[in-house]
Structure 1
Amino acid sequence: MDLVTQLGLVGWGGIATIIVLLGAAMALQNAMRRRKVDDEPAALDIVSAGSAKHAPGLASIEAAAKEAASFSRSKPKPSRGEARAYVEGGEPPNPFEVHKRNIESAKQAFSAARNSALITIIHHDYDEYVDHDTAVSVIDTLRNIQPNAPVDIVLHTPGGISSATQQILHALKAHQGQITAFVPYRAKSAGTMIALACDKIVMGPNAVLGPIDPQYGWMPAQYLSELTSAKSADRVDDEMIILSKMAKQAMAEARQFACEYVHDAHKHNGTCTFTDELIIGGRNHDYPILPGEAKNEFYLNISTEMPEEPYLICQPPPKVDPMLIVSMFRDTGLESTEAERAARNFRARRRADVDLFR
């Protein structure tokens, strides 16, 4: 047998050996994966986790998120749908879907415990605020319940558009049943006005309300209204003169309808002079009004006996790596929908909008 033929046989033999080794490695890897899936329990659903501090059947959102991410081997196998899906399909539960279900569970438990209609006005991101969609949601909820039904509003918002806020205030004033506002963390600006329209305000011990002074974009209307008196007309351009006059009008309108929609339970000796303090009192728009100041200085009908469920309802969605979010959107067919929603929200933030309470 010549040298070339011998080299060829050795080459084919080596290739065959490599193929056999690769096949054995793949078989071993698959066996290890199957064993890992059998050994790993899935995350516990928040509704089943519960704690002594939380309402029965509810756990903290943070604990549930950690459970969903860890798949700890130290816990027994759960019998929940997420565990079955993970074992059968090999995919962990979507943290956003888990969060959504947990929030809905907290809402249902809170509404059932208080036998009330529940409205939530919750904003986490910088491009979320009280807008006309918020007004439509509140109005529709109120018109689809009994006129005297008790209503609970969970507020977590930085503020919003004045015209949308006024629609909400008008709808709340027309409702005949008792309305209670729950502020676990913050209800600033327009959120403060919505709280003041309710019979009672329940605040977390560290929750804050805020001034309701009008804003033109990033400029306080009060300062803008004083521009023409602080500078001579020849030193102010035409646009700023117009804005200054509009700001004066906005201040007058804010003082008028802020008092109009404040519930009688928050008026001291039948008056609502505190609204002037919140509008032209000289406080920065970001000034935090804690429960003690709200109760003792502004005489608001404030309670700090906050149940646990509003805290759960206001928990933000999980924060993950942006590339992972894009990957999840592509996998679930949500990429275009989410992108369109983000673009729509961005376009809605017009700098020229007059926002009396934001």
Structure 2
Amino acid sequence: MSWSLIILVLILLFFVIIPLIKNKIIRHKRIKKMKSIEEQRDSRVITLIHRQEILGLIGMPFTRFINIEDSEEILRAVRETDSDKPIDLILHTPGGLVLAAEQIARAIDRHPAPVKVLIPHYAMSGGTLIALAADNIIMDQNAVLGPVDPQISGYPAASIKNVLDRKDINEVDDDTLIKADIAEKAVIQLENFLEGILADDFEPGEIEKITKNLSRGKFTHDFALTCDVLQELNIDHHTDLPDGIYELMKLYPQPGQGYPSVNYLSY
């Protein structure tokens, strides 16, 4: 065997086979930890965890969001769960497709047994929509949720609607008018959905307060809804997040790009 062929085989081993082996090992560890959490909590554990990942062999990072594939998998998992079995949904996401988030929220809202959403770091936008549909929200004391206001062409729907209130309609171009019409529909649709999933746990006045704050553009879309803000909105939540959730999150590491930006010593 020539040296060039040996080098080629080694390169192939380094870039293809070793990453595959590493992925199988870490997947096995994740499954083992999930089983451990299920045994400890007597529940069905489902994860919706989005991390920045490395694309193929070229090392290009890409960020994941809630999509239709996620909703299909979670709907399947919920459907396969016994009706009397509680569900623990571990949620770590920046949000994503509204349709997919609403499907997931509807599925966990309809599950007969209690559904708890566990949030170690953040569940923004569509993630918050899912969390509000659960029976209980358990989050780290420094974790955050986010507003659920619809976004149209990259702009908050509420802000697009405000254009018509501040300018004469004859001074507004057709494109903005169309977007404003879509924005109006999007806000109404989202508020109707929120009212549906909150109806069993909140009084009408409380629902109005939540929808006004979270869907009508009071905050920017990336505003951090901390535990204190959730308390002001009367959104019930707990901060006794099990240690096993943190241990599971360690098995979803961000891909390293050169030297790590955070270092600390473990004791």
CA distance in 1, matches of 2:199, 2:142: 23
CA distance in 2, matches of 1:268, 1:312: 37
Aligned pair count reads 230
The residue number in structure 1 matching 2:190 is 254
Query: Do residues 275 (structure 1) and 211 (structure 2) align?
Result: yes
Change (3 A) 1:95 1:320: farther
TM-score (norm 2): 0.78
The residue number in structure 2 matching 1:143 is 79
- The one-letter amino acid of 1:308's match is D
Query: Do residues 107 (structure 1) and 43 (structure 2) align?
Result: no
Give ranges in structure 2 of 5+ residues lacking alignment.
Answer: 1-17, 53-61, 259-267
Deviation at residue 120 of structure 1 after TM alignment: 0.8
CA distance in 2, matches of 1:208, 1:319: 23
Deviation at residue 228 of structure 1 after TM alignment: 2.6
CA distance in 2, matches of 1:98, 1:309: 19
CA distance in 2, matches of 1:298, 1:247: 24
Computing the radius of gyration over CA atoms, which structure comes out larger, 1 or 2? 1
What is the percentage of aligned positions where both structures have the same residue?
A: 28
Give ranges in structure 1 of 5+ residues lacking alignment.
Answer: 1-90, 323-358
CA distance in 2, matches of 1:92, 1:150: 35
Find runs of 4+ consecutive structure 1 residues off by over 6 angstroms: none
**Alignment counterpart, residue 309 of structure 1, candidates 231, 241, 244:** 244
CA distance in 2, matches of 1:157, 1:264: 25
- The one-letter amino acid of 1:280's match is R
Contact 1:268 1:299 in 2 (8 A): no
The residue number in structure 2 matching 1:245 is 181
Q: How does 1:26-65 map to 2 (within 5 A)?
A: none
The residue number in structure 2 matching 1:162 is 98
The residue number in structure 1 matching 2:138 is 202
Contact 2:51 2:254 in 1 (8 A): no
CA distance in 2, matches of 1:217, 1:312: 38
Change (3 A) 1:198 1:263: farther
Output the aligned Cα RMSD: 2.3
Q: How does 1:294-305 map to 2 (within 5 A)?
A: 294=230, 296-305=231-240
Change (3 A) 1:142 1:270: farther
The residue number in structure 2 matching 1:226 is 162
TM-score (norm 1): 0.59
